[in-house]
Chain A
Amino acid sequence: AQSVTQLGSHVSVSEGALVLLRCNYSSSVPPYLFWYVQYPNQGLQLLLKYTTGATLVKGINGFEAEFKKSETSFHLTKPSAHMSDAAEYFCAVSAGNNRKLIWGLGTSLAVNP
């Protein structure tokens, strides 16, 4: 069975500081990994995803994530936070032979001026 753990339900950074949101997964088969973002009062949208190939994945708005199989991690980073990055971020894993995503509980990112 697959599972996702997001470390830290709330993260606060200063504008211009590094953003690091942590995601660890559990999967008995090679996983496909996703990060989604939810801005206030909106639906979720895809930031980036890892399927196969290069383990460093670049997404929208300057975000990137690195798949580390040995650490079962897929942490999300951005070198310099912007006020507009304030949102809820969800990590998800897809694996096995069904079409469902397994979701983490989310991390709320606050960006302080």
Chain B
Amino acid sequence: NAGVTQTPKFQVLKTGQSMTLQCAQDMNHNSMYWYRQDPGMGLRLIYYSASEGTTDKGEVPNGYNVSRLNKREFSLRLESAAPSQTSVYFCASSDGQLTDTQYFGPGTRLTVL
């Protein structure tokens, strides 16, 4: 039972390059989330998927796109990376109820030069 897995763990991009961050969960959860974490700014929600087939913008969606590929997988795409997107990215999942725990992946450290 791996929980929430993320790939890659580390990535360095040049400005303007694109990439996709992958996330998968094996807990049969309905909801999945993408956050970014920056020093002094806590966790900020980029996009979330309340259930398979749906996605919604969070607090900071500009410059990102997402795909809920199936119930297990939720990917985050940077079409044209910018230095402001240098951050640590976390994927999380939950059963989707207000009282449910969110389970986090180990994170992806992204640097955009």
A105 part of interface (Cβ distance < 8 Å):
yes
CA A95 to CA B101, docked complex, whole Å:
13
Identify which of B33, B42, B96, B97 contacts A105 (C-beta below 8 A): B42
B106 part of interface (Cβ distance < 8 Å):
yes
How many A-B pairs with Cβ below 8 Å?
Answer: 53
A15 → chain B closest CB, angstroms:
26
Question: Which residue on chain B has the smallest CB distance to residue A31?
Answer: B98
8 Å CB interface, A23-50 against B: 32, 34, 41-46, 49
A90 touching B99 by the CB < 8 A rule? no
Chain A interface size, under 10 / 10 to 19 / 20 to 34 / 35 or more: 20 to 34
A20 part of interface (Cβ distance < 8 Å):
no
A96 → chain B closest CB, angstroms:
8
B2 part of interface (Cβ distance < 8 Å):
no
Which residues of A lie under 8 Å from residue B50 when comparing CB positions? 99
Residues of B within 8 A of A (CB): 4, 31, 33, 40-45, 48, 50, 58, 90, 92, 94, 96-99, 101-107
Residues of A within 8 A of B (CB): 9, 32, 34, 41-46, 49, 51, 90, 94-96, 99-101, 103-106
